[in-house]
């Protein structure tokens, strides 16, 4: 009988990197309850929160931008991180190292390649991140979420279209029958776990002159840490039923209840929305690295799975967003079509597909 699997999941710093890793860890533990899974990444608060209860190690790294301000200090930290990675490999002795993306994934994946340990990368976005573009030259396998990504990476033959792993509560939504949109009466505004100030400001600007159709819906708005009270007051003054909070931990329950969701275009959020199958308006974050959120949004829009509203444009962004919402709220047929097309893009078995690739890399068939 073979020894239990030992897997290192390297990377972090954002929910978009960590959430797929957690989905993979859950899937592997369902197959091999005795598997040892070690997360290696940053010491940011989001790593501490999402990885609470998991075995984790912190990789000492400086932000990439510090290389310009203090190249000697950055180089020293980089050397220390690679030294730390080699020591960790010798201690943990993983069967496979899986890179989740981001700067924190590089030392472990690079050290694993040099030590002859099989490496696998998860790429969540249409446009590969810089870390994955570099490490894909030597990785055994790259699991991608979008078919368009394969042509943007070296060694396309090593790429596999798996989809982006999502948490089991979201994956299970994909097997549920789509609810008629006429039974849904919530508009859900999401700016990511930290909120999105432009979305908050756009609603504040338009609520005083909101369309009459807006009053037919209950508005749930995730604001982030600022602006909660101001937005709640604005909804109430506009005569709208509302629920406004900095953060909602139960989106797997709220998203399927929404007639329309307004969201940024982070890859993990998109994968969760696709499993839910809900009419979606995407507002890509324009300052995202390599403009990857715009590419993600356009990929979904090309398959008629979302409506995209850019922040930049000839007309003011708040007016364009409000007009889009008014049109969708007044047209249930359009909402139903959007929901169906988005559901067709779901990959609820993505975590299983990634674990299949991990097991093959480890020689377990």
The 10s digit of each residue's pLDDT in 305-315 is: 999 999 988 89
d(CA 109, CA 9): 9
Q: Are residues 352 and 338 in the same domain?
A: no
Q: Are residues 140 and 180 in the same domain?
A: no
Tally the C-alpha atoms within 13 A of residue 283's C-alpha that lie toward its C-beta.
24
State the pLDDT confidence band at 76, using cuts at 50, 70 and 90: confident
Residue 235: is its pLDDT beyond 80?
yes
The stretch 147-162 carries a mean pLDDT of 96
Q: Are residues 185 and 224 in the same domain?
A: yes
Q: Are residues 152 and 21 in the same domain?
A: yes
Residue 61: is its pLDDT beyond 80?
no
Residue 163: is its pLDDT beyond 80?
yes
Residue 81: is its pLDDT beyond 90?
no
Quick check: is 1 in a domain? no
Q: What is the pLDDT of residue 226?
A: 86
Host domain of residue 93: 6-166+348-361
Q: What is the pLDDT of residues 125-138, one digit of tens each?
A: 999 998 899 999 99
State the pLDDT confidence band at 257, using cuts at 50, 70 and 90: very high
Q: Are residues 11 and 119 in the same domain?
A: yes
Q: Are residues 160 and 176 in the same domain?
A: no
Q: Are residues 32 and 73 in the same domain?
A: yes
Q: Are residues 138 and 200 in the same domain?
A: no
Quick check: is 83 in a domain? yes
d(CA 168, CA 166): 6
Q: Are residues 177 and 200 in the same domain?
A: yes
d(CA 150, CA 161): 8
Say if pTM beats, i.e. exceeds, 0.75: yes
Q: How many domains does the chain have?
A: 2
Q: Are residues 105 and 154 in the same domain?
A: yes
Q: What is the pLDDT of residues 337-361, one digit of tens each?
A: 999 999 999 999 999 999 999 999 9
Q: Are residues 175 and 297 in the same domain?
A: yes
State the pLDDT confidence band at 191, using cuts at 50, 70 and 90: confident
CATH assignment at residue 50: 3.40.50.2000
Q: What is the pLDDT of residues 14-29, one digit of tens each?
A: 888 999 999 999 999 9
Q: Are residues 161 and 14 in the same domain?
A: yes
């Amino acid at each position: 009988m073979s020894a239990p699997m030992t897997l290192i999941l390297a990377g972090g710093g954002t929910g978009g990197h960590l959430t797929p890793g957690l989905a993979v860890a859950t899937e592997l533990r369902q197959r091999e309850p005795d598997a040892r899974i070690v997360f290696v990444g940053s010491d940011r608060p989001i790593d501490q929160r999402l990885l609470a209860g998991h075995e984790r190690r912190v990789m000492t790294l400086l932000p990439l931008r510090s290389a310009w301000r203090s190249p000697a200090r950055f180089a020293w930290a980089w050397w220390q991180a690679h030294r730390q990675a080699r020591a960790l490999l010798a201690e943990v002795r993983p069967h496979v190292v899986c890179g989740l993306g981001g700067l924190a994934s590089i030392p472990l994946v690079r050290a694993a390649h040099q030590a002859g340990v099989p490496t696998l990368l998860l790429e969540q976005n249409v446009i590969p991140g810089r870390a994955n573009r570099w490490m894909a030259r030597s990785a055994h396998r790259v699991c991608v979420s979008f078919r368009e990504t394969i042509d943007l990476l070296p060694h396309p033959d090593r790429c596999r279209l798996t989809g982006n792993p999502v948490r089991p509560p979201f994956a299970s939504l994909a097997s549920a029958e789509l609810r008629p949109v006429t039974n849904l009466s919530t508009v859900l505004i999401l700016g990511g776990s930290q909120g999105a100030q432009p979305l908050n400001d756009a609603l504040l600007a338009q609520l005083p002159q909101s369309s009459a159709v807006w009053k037919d819906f209950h508005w749930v708005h995730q604001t982030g840490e600022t602006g909660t009270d101001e937005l709640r007051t604005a909804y109430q003054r506009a005569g709208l039923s509302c629920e406004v909070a900095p953060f909602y931990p139960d989106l797997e329950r709220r998203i399927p209840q929404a007639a329309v969701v307004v969201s940024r275009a982070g890859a993990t959020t998109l994968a969760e929305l696709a499993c839910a199958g809900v009419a979606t308006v995407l507002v890509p974050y324009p300052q995202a690295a390599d403009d990857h959120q715009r590419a993600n949004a356009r990929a979904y829009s090309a398959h008629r799975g979302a409506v995209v509203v850019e922040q930049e444009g000839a007309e003011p962004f708040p007016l364009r967003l409000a007009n889009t919402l008014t049109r969708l709220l007044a047209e249930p047929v359009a909402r139903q079509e959007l929901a169906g097309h988005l559901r067709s893009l779901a990959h609820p078995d993505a975590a299983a597909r990634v674990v299949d690739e991990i097991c093959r890399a480890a020689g377990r068939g």
